[in-house]
Amino acid sequence: MNIRSLRPSKSRRAPSRQERMAPLATLPVFYKLEGKKVLIAGGSEAAAWKAELLAAAGAKVHVYAEQLDPVFADLIAATAVPGAYVWHQRPWSAQCLASMQIAICDAESDGEAQAFYCAARAAGVAVNVIDKPAWCEFQFGSIVNRSPAVIAISTDGAAPILGQAIRRRIETLVPPALAAWAQLAQSIRTAVNDRLAPGPQRRAFWEGFVDRAFGAAPDRHAPEELLRQANAIKLAGSQGEGRVTLVGAGPGDAELLTLKAIRALQAADVILFDDLVSGEVLELARREARRMLVGKRGGRESCKQDDINATMIALAKAGKHVVRLKGGDPMIFGRAGEEIARLQDEGIAVSVVPGITSALAMAAQLGVSLTHRDQAQSVRFVTGHSRNGELPNDLDWAGIADRRTTTVFYMGGRTAGEIATRLTENGMDPSMPVVISRSVARKGFERWTGTLRDLGEGMTIIGYDEPVLVGVGSVFAALSESHVGVTSGQVAAVG
């Protein structure tokens, strides 16, 4: 088939390259300072921290101060690098700024800050005045140091404590061994580039490298093993081998993605995404990746499953890494079985990254345990419609009607009334608590709580224009006791 036939719809057009980059408060730039001269005006402890940072980057730090804080003096005395610091025991002057790359001042007053800023600008030197954003051309962010991999976080001076919190979170995600892997990457990059052509071949190699880099530190045999892998990729052909990864996007909240899902999105050449995948999730994908909407929604024009399968096959055979991005979990009512079988028939490598299915996100959002030991011994996820849009005719209604089972119906909005009838006919008490959750883990979340006898009426109230989950079981009794009807907004934190 013509793989261009699947295009983003007008209602969910993929953003252009320009639209994908939101405005930046500051431009993140990594500046090489090895052997360059920088100026520090002031001998305070705050100035010492900036001086230590600049010296760590290889700069020659010229300090202009009549006196040094003991912390600063100890820093200079302890350095093992000759000439890393030069202390000029006098105040700064405009003449000192000649030939400097960067100038930093710990000013005692706004007047000194303004004078330093103006002198530095006149000399063409980038300037920072500590704790005075109005007189700064650049800021120092929080740093995660896995050099040569360096991560910097900036809040543009608005909330330094937030930057520190982000740094702590990243520290837990980036193992210290990553520094050794980054050094190894530097050492083999030329050899890898000599072996592999730009594009899919090199990307395939470095994706494999990254998977290893987030594990244990490399051993002494790692360079030889990696170069053997590069040779194997080269022998596989100039186009490289394509593959497909089925990725669970979760119910909508990007914070519920797994780390493995994010890595897959960052490694994709093409992303085929469902209509229910949120823009926040897509924003985490590699910016160069082609994005194609292949959504299927009840009552709306949808892409045919055969066309989706054919598109994945065509792209993978063209050497692309295809990410099939599905709302929720791929293996829960996501037609993953059909797609996996079709890809395997074509000899295409396929893997699965699970996601949080909507029923579990609903339970977290409502603060309800689906298997509360006093109320339910099992839980069922049941499809609310078949291929023809009606209830499947082979459901075990007697089992579903068990009062000790919690049941969550997916895609059951338009069949809610019939669900209530079938359950009642099979012995379920019409007063059994039920909940309808709309737009779970998304903006616009609403819930309706009531009883089984009123389920059809509740569905009419909640509406059919957004996806819903229907929960049936005693575990929802507390919700019904506290409130009957529609409730909007977040009821409980998700995650």
**Among 11, 20, 18, residue whose Cα is nearest residue 283:** 20
Identify the active-site residue in 36, 234, 260, 296: 296
35: burial class by Cβ within 10 Å (0-12, 13-18, 19+)?
exposed
List the helix and strand counts (H, then E) for the chain. 17, 18
Q: Which two tokens mark 281?
A: 């999730």
Whole-angstrom Cα distance, residue 464 to residue 146?
50
Residue 296 annotated as catalytic = yes
Q: Return the amino acid letter for 347.
A: G
User: Distances in Å between the alpha carbon of 398 and those of 220, 242, 386?
Assistant: 62, 46, 19
Return the DSSP state at 328: B
Task: Judge contact between 242 and 311, C-beta under 8 A.
Answer: no
Quick check: helix, strand or coil at residue 342? helix
Q: Return the amino acid letter for 101.
A: Q
Identify the active-site residue in 106, 269, 274, 402: 274
| Size of the chain in residues | 495
Quick check: helix, strand or coil at residue 184? helix
Neighbours of 25 (CB within 10 A): 10
Cα-Cα-Cα-Cα dihedral sign, residues 399, 404, 410, 414: positive
Q: Which two tokens mark 264?
A: 């897959």
Neighbours of 485 (CB within 10 A): 11
User: Distances in Å between the alpha carbon of 356 and those of 152, 264, 426, 444, 495?
Assistant: 30, 16, 31, 19, 10
Name the β-bridge partners of 405: 378
137: burial class by Cβ within 10 Å (0-12, 13-18, 19+)?
middle
Q: What is the distance in angstroms between the CA of the first residue and the CA of the last residue of the chain?
A: 41
Task: Judge contact between 285 and 291, C-beta under 8 A.
Answer: yes
Q: What is the CA radius of gyration of the chain?
A: 30
Quick check: helix, strand or coil at residue 470? strand
Query: Which residues, in sequence order, are CB contacts of 18 under 8 Å at separation 6+?
Result: none
Task: Judge contact between 106 and 42, C-beta under 8 A.
Answer: yes
Q: Which two tokens mark 19?
A: 């639209």
Catalytic residues: 274, 296
